Every structure is written in structure tokens, then in C-alpha cells.
Amino acid sequence: MTGKQKTFMIRIVITAVVLGLAVIFIFPFLWMISTSFKMEMDVFDFPIQLIPKTWNLENYKKVFADSNFLLFYRNSLFISVVSVAGNLVLSSTAAYAFARLKFRGSKGIFALYMITLMIPLQIVLLPKFILFQRIGLYDSYWALILPAMISPFATFFLRQTYLSIPMELSEAGLIDGASQWRIYWQLIMPLAKGSMVTVGILAFIDSWNDYMQPSILLRSVEKFTIPIGLEWFSTSNSSNYALIMAATVVSLVPILLIFILTQKYYIESIAASGIKG
């Protein structure tokens, strides 16, 4: 065997191993999907049958008919979309000011933003709960949306992008008589579109998957988001495994779709940012 053939063989073997491991690795997902189509009595059959004996669509029908899942979808969608839009507007204007405008206190305020990056959400939830109780926003979408619009991380990330765009571009705009707002909106921001999309996707996934904040700040079932709705649903159907798996699939589909459609941006952002988590 030549060296080339040998490397080729090694690659085939390793590919097979990694693929084999990948199947074990995603077994929980396979099991979830297969169980969601099973009859309840077949769920724990052994040997494990990933292809259901009888295909049963009742679970999905029940998830949409008996429960509030459509409502949960709507709530999650509203909260996530408005949060992300607000976050993009506020973070990108702040980032623009930090990166491309001169003003007194710029460095100090930016340092403050960097310090707030260290504050864990879990720690400030208790005072936020008290605040929202106080001002009457407890059990309202806005208790989730308003804080989610503020992201020192997004501000930092976008500032890096704005810094990488040559200053000459802004100067040319100024000479042509454009205001800074116009330069931001028509010249610079469009050049940062890639970063905006990245920040938007990260924020959307965070908001969609958030469990702790909605579980503390919302109380009415009709306002629940997908994650706490799923928990509520599983508590009220606790012994019905097939049904719960169907609900879990339903809860995961949108985020998996978004990920698959946007993975180009998402995977690029991992290398660039890393700070997520």
C-alpha cells in the first residue's frame, strides 16, 4: 500500500468510527422521535424498536388539540422576535457610539459595560422579580422582553465589527454633509450585516430556550413560553411518555429549523466570539 492509500484507509476507518459514535450520540433524539409516534403501551418494549410497530399520530393531534401549544408558540415567537429586534437596535447604536464617535466618558462607560458582562442572569433575577412586582410588569411579556433588549455582549461584539470598518468611510460621509445618524444607518450598519445576523440568531436561541426567567416572571398558563409550557404539559400528563415526547418534538422543531437554515452564521460566530454561555 502506498502512503496515500494508507491515509485514505485511515480516513475511512475514522469516519466510520465517528459516524458510529454520532448515531449513539444522537440516540436520545432518535428515541424521542420514534417514541412520539408510538402507542403508549409500546414505549418501553424491548428490544428497542426505533421504527414503531404501529404509527400513531394521535399524540401530535393531542398536543395541538388538548393543550395550549399553539399559544405557547405564539408567546415564544412574540417575546423572542421583539427581544431580538430591540436588542439589535439598542446594542448596535450603543456599539456605534463606542466604536466610531468621540464623546466624554466613552472609555469609562465602555469599561462599565465590560464589567456588567460578568453579572450572571441567575443573580439579578431576584431583584428583577421584585422590580417587576413593584411596577406591575410581573406576569407580563415585557418582564422578559425589556431586560432581553439589553446585551453588553452584543454591544461588545458589534463594536468590534464597527471598529474594523475604515474611519475614512465616515469622513467621506461627513464631507458630503451626511449626519452621523445617516452615516450609521446607510453606510456603516449595512456593512455589519453579517455580525447583526449572528448576534440576532444567538439572542433568538437564548430567548427561545430560556427557562429560568419565564418560570419565575410568568404565572398565567396562557402567557407561557415553549420551555415552561413544555414543563407544565409534562407535569399534567406525567405518565404519558409518548405524548410528552411528541410535545418535546413540537417544542424543538422551530429552533432546529432555524439552526439548520442559519448554521453558516452560527458556526462562524463560534469561532469569532466564543463568549456565549
Partner 1 sequence: MNHQVRMRKKNKFGRSESRTAYLMLLPSFLGVVIFLILPLLFVLYLSFTQWNFAKGFQGIEFNGIENYVRMLTDDRVKTSLANNLIYLLNVPITIVLAIFLGAALNKYVFFKKGVRVLYYLPFISSMVAVSMVFRNLFSEYGPVNEFLMNVLHISDPPKWFLSSAWVMPTIILIQVWHDLGNSTMILIAGMQGISKDLYEAAEVDGASGWQRLTKITIPLLTPYIFFLAIIGIMNSFKVYDVIKVLTNGGPGQSSNVLVYAVYHYGFKMYDMGYASAISVLVFAIILIVTAVQFAGQKKWVNY
**Contact present, 62 and 237 (Cβ < 8 Å):** no
175 binds partner 1, rule: CB under 8 A: no
The count of residues interacting with partner 1 (CB under 8 A) is: 92
186 binds partner 1 (CB under 8 A): no
Q: In this chain, which stretch among 59-67, 160-168, 192-200, 210-218 interacts with partner 1, using CB under 8 A?
A: 210-218
> Which residue, 58 or 273, is less far from partner 1 as judged by CB?
273
Q: CA end-to-end span of the chain, whole Å?
A: 47
The closest alpha carbon to 109, from 138, 71, 152, belongs to 152
Smallest separation (angstroms) from partner 1 to the CB of 52:
14
**Minimum separation from the CB atom of position 98 to partner 1 (A):** 8
Q: Please say which residue, 128 or 223, places its beta carbon nearer to partner 1.
A: 128
The C-alpha cell at 70 is: 399553539
The CB-of-61 to partner 1 minimum distance in angstroms stands at 19
9 or 70, CB closer to partner 1?
9
How far apart (Å, rounded) are the C-alpha atoms in residues 32 and 28? 6
| Cβ at position 79, least distance to partner 1 in Å | 14
- 244 contacts: CB under 8 Å, gap ≥ 6: 233, 234, 237
Question: How far apart are the C-alpha atoms of 66 and 246, rounded to whole Å?
Answer: 13
Residue 55, SS3 per DSSP: coil
The CA-atom distances, in angstroms, between 220 and each of 71, 110, 228, 232, 271 are: 12, 38, 11, 11, 40
Q: Does 9 bind partner 1 (CB under 8 A)?
A: no
The one-letter code for the residue type at 16 is A
Residue 54 Cβ vs partner 1, minimum distance, rounded to whole Å: 19
Residue 48 binds partner 1, judged by CB under 8 A: yes
What contacts 31, CB < 8 A, 6 or more positions away?
A: 48, 50
CA distance 67 to 87: 31
Restricting to residues 49-78, name those near partner 1 by CB under 8 A.
none
Least distance (Å) from partner 1 to the CB of residue 275? Answer: 8
Sequence-distant (6+) residues with CB within 8 A of 266 are: 198, 201, 202, 259
SS3 content of the chain, % helix, strand, coil (to 5): 75, 0, 25
Residue of 25, 53, 163, 190 interacting with partner 1 (CB under 8 A): 25
Give least dist CB 182 to partner 1, A.
11
Q: Which is nearer to partner 1, 56 or 234 (CB)?
A: 234
The footprint of partner 1 on residues 212-231 (CB under 8 A) is 212, 215-216, 226-228, 230-231
- By CB under 8 A, tell whether 251 contacts partner 1: yes
> Under rule CB under 8 A, which residues in 94-153 are in contact with partner 1?
94, 96-98, 101-104, 106, 109, 112-113, 116, 118-120, 122-124, 126-131, 146-147, 149-150, 152
DSSP string, 75-111: HHHHHHHHHHHHHHHHHHHHHHHHHH---TTHHHHHH
| Shortest CB 227 distance to partner 1, Å | 4
